[in-house]
Amino acid sequence: MKRNNLIALVIFVLAMVWVFTLKSGSVRSIQSKILGIFGLVYESFDELTYSHDVVNGEPISVAEISKKYNKKELGLRYNKLLSDLYELRAWKSQIDLLREENIELKRSLNFVEFKRKQSQKLVAARVINRPSSTWWKTFVIDRGADDGVKLNDPVMTPVAVDRAENVEGALVGKIVNVSASQSTVVLVTDSECKIGAYVHGVFANANEKGLERVQGILSGAPGAGRDVNYLVLQNLPKEADRFGVSAGAKVYSSGVGNADVSGIFPPGLILGYIKEFEVKDFDAVARVQPAINFNQLSYIFVLVSEENNNLSSKGLDQADGGSKRSIAINKEK
Amino acid sequence: MMVAIEKSKTIFFSLLFILLFISFILDELVSNILSPLGIRFFIVQTIFFTCSLSVPFALMLLFAFLTGLTWDSIHMAIGVNNDIGFGYSIFLFFITGSLMQGMSPFFSRGRWEAPVMLVGVSTLVFLLIEWFLISFARAQFVFPQNFWSHLWVSVFFGMVVSPFFFYLILKLSKLSGCSVVVIGRSKED
Three-state SS sequence of chain B: CHHHHHHHHHHHHHHHHHHHHHHHHHHHHHHHHHHHHCCCCCHHHHHHHHHHHCCCHHHHHHHHHHHHHHHHHHHCCCCCCCCCCCCHHHHHHHHHHHHHHCCHHHHHCCCCHHHHHHHHHHHHHHHHHHHHHHHHHHCCCCCCCCHHHHHHHHHHHHHHHHHHHHHHHHHHHHHHCCCCCHHHHHHHC
Residue A8 lies in a domain: no
- On whether the CB atoms of residues A126 and A298 are closer than 8 A, the answer is yes
**In B, which residues are within 8 Å of A12 by CB distance?**
61-62, 64-65, 94
For residues A322 and A216, state if they share a domain: yes
With pLDDT > 90 as the criterion, what percentage of chain B qualifies? 30
pLDDT confidence of residue A221? 78
DSSP states along A133-190: GGTTTEEEES--GGGT--TT-EEEEEEE-SSTT-EEEEEEEEEEEE-SS-EEEEETTS
Task: For residue A292, give Cα distances in angstroms to A84, A296, B51.
Answer: 39, 8, 75
Task: For residue B147, give Cα distances in angstroms to A217, B75, B89.
Answer: 63, 20, 20
Residue A173 lies in a domain: yes
For residues A104 and A124, state if they share a domain: no
Three-state SS sequence of B156-176: HHHHHHHHHHHHHHHHHHHHH
State how far the Cα of A53 lies from the Cα of A73, in Å rounded to an integer: 21
Q: What is the domain range of residue B10?
A: 2-188
What is the domain count for chain A? 2
For residues A167 and A280, state if they share a domain: yes
State how far the Cα of A137 lies from the Cα of B118, in Å rounded to an integer: 86
| Out of B24, B33, B87, closest to residue A19 by CB | B87
Query: Do the chains contact at B58 and A46, CB–CB below 8 Å?
Result: no
- On whether the CB atoms of residues A111 and A301 are closer than 8 A, the answer is yes
If one counts every other C-beta atom within 10 angstroms of the C-beta of residue B147, the result is: 12
Weakest-pLDDT range from A323-332, B20-29, B177-186: A323-332
Distance from CA of A58 to the nearest CA of B (A): 23
Weakest-pLDDT range from A38-52, A293-307, B2-16, B145-159: A38-52
Of B189, B180, B167, B186, give the one whose Cα is nearest residue B59: B180
For residues A306 and A160, state if they share a domain: yes
**In B, which residues are within 8 Å of A31 by CB distance?**
73, 76, 78
Instruction: Select from A71, A94, A115 the last residue of a domain.
Output: A115
Residue A77 lies in a domain: yes
∠ CA B78-B79-B83, nearest 5°, is 80
Residue A326 lies in a domain: yes
ipTM: 0.84
- On whether the CB atoms of residues A168 and A158 are closer than 8 A, the answer is yes
State how far the Cα of A265 lies from the Cα of A224, in Å rounded to an integer: 21
Residue A47 lies in a domain: no
Chain B contact for A22, CB < 8 A? yes
- Kind and range of the H or E element at A55? strand A54-55
Interface test with A, best of B34, B57, B92, B94 (most A CBs within 10 A): B57
For residues A167 and A309, state if they share a domain: yes
For residues A195 and A328, state if they share a domain: yes
- Kind and range of the H or E element at A81? helix A71-117
What is the domain count for chain B? 1
pLDDT confidence of residue A210? 60
State how far the Cα of A103 lies from the Cα of B188, in Å rounded to an integer: 84
Burial class (CB in 10 A: 0-12, 13-18, 19+), B6: exposed
State how far the Cα of B121 lies from the Cα of B158, in Å rounded to an integer: 10
For residues A189 and A68, state if they share a domain: no
Write the single-letter amino acid at A265.
F
**In B, which residues are within 8 Å of A16 by CB distance?**
65, 87, 90-91, 94
Residue of chain A whose alpha carbon sits nearest to that of B68 = A16
pLDDT confidence of residue B81? 63
Q: At what angle do helices B57-75 and B2-34 cross, to 10 degrees?
A: 30
For residues A244 and A292, state if they share a domain: yes
State how far the Cα of A231 lies from the Cα of A252, in Å rounded to an integer: 13
Q: What does the mean pLDDT of chain B come to?
A: 83
Residue A5 lies in a domain: no
pLDDT confidence of residue B184? 43
For residues A207 and A301, state if they share a domain: yes
State how far the Cα of B170 lies from the Cα of B176, in Å rounded to an integer: 10
Q: Higher pLDDT residue, B13 or A118?
A: B13
For residues A104 and A200, state if they share a domain: no
pLDDT confidence of residue B48? 94
Chain A contact for B73, CB < 8 A? yes
- Tallying the residues shown for chain B, one arrives at 189
Q: Using 50, 70 and 90 to split pLDDT, how confident is the model at B61?
A: very high
Residue of chain B whose alpha carbon sits nearest to that of A49 = B32
Burial class (CB in 10 A: 0-12, 13-18, 19+), A159: buried
| Out of B32, B56, B94, closest to residue A49 by CB | B32
Q: Higher pLDDT residue, B102 or A106?
A: B102
- On whether the CB atoms of residues B84 and B61 are closer than 8 A, the answer is no
Residue A314 lies in a domain: yes
For residues A109 and A124, state if they share a domain: no
For residues A263 and A162, state if they share a domain: yes
Reply yes or no on whether the pLDDT at B157 is more than 80.
yes
- pLDDT by residue for chain A (333 residues), tens only, comes to 688 889 999 999 999 999 988 888 888 888 888 888 877 777 666 666 555 566 666 666 666 777 777 888 888 888 888 888 888 888 888 888 887 777 777 767 777 776 666 667 788 898 888 877 777 788 889 888 888 888 888 898 888 777 766 778 888 998 888 888 888 888 888 877 788 888 887 777 655 556 677 888 888 877 666 666 788 888 888 777 777 777 888 898 887 765 444 457 888 888 999 888 888 777 888 889 888 888 878 888 898 865 544 444 343 333 333 333 333 334 443
Q: What is the domain range of residue A104?
A: 56-115
| Out of B28, B61, B87, closest to residue A42 by CB | B28
Q: Using 50, 70 and 90 to split pLDDT, how confident is the model at B125?
A: very high
